[in-house]
Every structure is written in structure tokens, then in C-alpha cells.
Amino acid sequence: MTHAGAIMSPAVLAVAEQLGSSGSEVITALVAGYEAMGAISQGFAKRSTPRGFRASGIYGGFAAAAGVARLLRLDAEATAHALGMAASAASGTNQTWVSGTQEWQMQLGLAARNGMLAARLAASGATAAPEALEGSAGFYHAFLGDADDVDHVGRDLVQTWRTLDVTYKPFAVCAILQAPVTQAVALSERHQLKAEDIAAVRLRLNPAEAAYPGTDAQGPFPDIGATLMSAPFCLALALSERKVLGKDLRRLDDPRLRPLIARVTVIPDAGLGPRSFVLEVDFRNGQTLSHVEQTQGERFNWNRDEVRANLLAMAAEMPCDVAGIERLCERVLAAEQFSAQQIMDACVVR
């Protein structure tokens, strides 16, 4: 729920390039960010989200602060001040998904900037409250409404490695919709589906995911922030086009999609766990296709080869050619053999 990598990676790479850091130092900084933010957010993002706060905005700054603090070689005390500063700078709501407006496109950049600034301030001697997280007026009280069950935060660091739980998105849509869209594309390809033959589509989700802002939206869609969150839009696109490309999310008022969007219903189902779903497609001839997926953990926790394969599968949507993707993979998947500057060079489209 936090998109830590998208927030922290630009911050860490920018500072590492400035400092002349090694690839190994970049890796260590990224791990520091994932671990710190993971420890601070795990179990709490699901409590702050229903209150209207976007997890990326309020937790992501901790990842950038910890990663940059590591690059700056801050000691434990200064790093604690950096995290405290990040807590004070946390912000961002989910109303952007409800309204379909553009705040979501700025929230990750703001978290990255605030995390970098927090680490820089701490490096310059600025201090933050020792109880910035658990204090009576601290982060958890502010964003959760209480500080229940926070005593364990950080106590399993170096024993539990949350970096290993980082997952990916094969489609440029909400994380909740990754598996349903994957299955919708597969069903459409397997059965050669046509939108006009589909009478109704039902997507059953865990109640918390079904209630996530924007998930059940059927339009109108003022911006891609609304389409990428909408299960009706994304499933209509997947079933009718047999693919979901980033550019297709801009089909905000496409008359070819509208009829099928209106026939998609999102249903909360208390019998389903997180990331599990039931997808049912009714046809006008009375036939129904059904797929049940009971997921244990996250489905898209890819290994190195899978990351590379999915990057290549996205080649048509990437700003570089296949050779550029291969160069990026060469540098990133063996980052310890390169400098931060060389890694950055592979990120630049020429």
C-alpha cells in the first residue's frame, strides 16, 4: 500500500549521484529505506487508510529519510531525528481517488522530497521529538487515532527482512486490481471474448479492498487517477481489449467502453482474504465463466528473471528501446559492480 520504491529510489539515486556513492551503498540505502518504512507501516496502513490518509503519502517519507540518512552516514541519533522530521512532514489523503483529481501524482514526489529534506536537516543538526512516532501527539495518534500496538515497531529489524516482501505491478493500475485484471485478460484471450456478448461482470473482493476509494467507480472519469483505481473501468478494458496499457487509462469517456463499464459490479465478500477475489462473467446466451482465487501472501513477488521478463514485456510502453532495457537490467541487477553514476546513466533515455 505504500509504493516505497517509487518514493525512495529517486531520492536515494539523486543523493548517491551527488555524493559519488558506490552501487553497494545504493543497495544498502534502499534496504534501509524499505526496512524502516516497512517496520513503521506494517499493520498500520490498513488502519490509517479508512481514516482517509494515503499510505504512500504518510509512510513513504520514512523510506526516503532512512535511505538518504544511510548515504549521508548519519549515526543512530541523527537518523532518529531524520525519521522524526519525516513523521512531522507526512501528508496526503485518498480523496484524490474519489474525486479523480491529480493530487496522487504529486504525493509520491512530495514524500521523496520531504524524506530527503528530513535527512539533510538532521545532518545539519536539526532535532525532532524523540517520541515523534508513539507520543501522545505523535504520528500514530495523529494518523491512526491512537497508538495501540505500536510497542513492537522496529524490534524485529535484522531478524525480519521486509525488503524480501516487496512486490511489483504488471499493470499500471491499482494494486488491488492486479490479479483480477491479469485473470480478465487471460479469460478474454482464452475464450476470445467480445464486449457485446457480455451481460454482466461481478468482482467479489475482501470488504476492505472493495471499499478502497475509487474501486467501485463507474464514471464519469475526469482523470487517469480515476480510471486506474476503477475495477469497472479496468475490467471492461481487460475483457474487451485483452490487454491493459498505460495509454488506455486515458480513454476517460470512450463510448466503446462505457456500456461494459456500466455492467461491472464490485461486491464486498467477507469470506475473501486480502488480494483474493472471485471474477464472474455472465454472457447473453446464459453461460457464466467464473474464476476463484484465494491468495496466500502477494502474488507478484517476482525474482530477478521475472523482473527482467516483465520489463521486456513492457517494452512498447517504455521510453527506451529493448537495448536500453537490457542496459538498465545489466546495471541494476548487478548494482554492486557499478557506481551510482553508472546506474543513473542507465536510467537516462538518450
3-state secondary structure 192-206: CCCHHHEEEEEEEEC
Residues 6+ apart with CB under 8 A from 216: 210, 230, 231, 232, 265, 266
Cβ pair 112, 65 in contact under 8 A: no
Which of left, alpha, beta for 145 (phi over 0: left; psi -120 to 50: alpha)?
A: left
Cβ pair 282, 185 in contact under 8 A: no
| pLDDT of res. 1 | 79
CA distance 212 to 233: 15
| pLDDT of res. 295 | 76
Name the helix (H) or strand (E) containing 290: strand 288-293
Cβ pair 104, 64 in contact under 8 A: no
AA letter at 200? A
Cell of 31: 534496504
CA distance 41 to 30: 16
Whole-structure pTM value:
0.90
Cell of 305: 528473471
| pLDDT of res. 65 | 98
| pLDDT of res. 85 | 97
Name the helix (H) or strand (E) containing 283: strand 277-283
Cβ pair 97, 104 in contact under 8 A: yes
| pLDDT of res. 100 | 85
Residue that the C-alpha cell 536510467 belongs to: 347
- Name all domains of the chain by residue range, CATH numbers in brackets: 4-166 (1.10.4100.10), 175-293 (3.30.1330.120), 310-350 (no CATH)
CA distance 97 to 106: 13
Residues 6+ apart with CB under 8 A from 125: none
Cβ pair 71, 23 in contact under 8 A: no
CA distance 173 to 178: 7
| pLDDT of res. 349 | 79
Nearest to 147 by CA among 129, 132, 160: 132
Q: Within 10 A of 277 (CB to CB), how many other CB atoms are there?
A: 25
Cβ pair 85, 128 in contact under 8 A: yes
| pLDDT of res. 221 | 92
The one-digit pLDDT tens for each residue of the chain (350 residues) are 789 999 999 999 999 999 999 999 999 999 999 999 999 999 999 899 999 999 999 999 999 999 999 999 999 999 999 999 999 999 999 999 888 889 999 999 999 999 999 999 999 999 999 999 999 999 999 999 999 999 999 999 999 999 998 888 889 999 899 999 999 999 999 999 999 999 999 999 999 999 989 999 999 999 998 999 999 999 999 999 999 999 999 999 999 999 999 999 999 999 998 889 999 999 999 999 999 988 776 788 899 999 999 999 888 888 888 999 999 999 999 999 999 999 999 988 77
Residue that the C-alpha cell 494494486 belongs to: 175
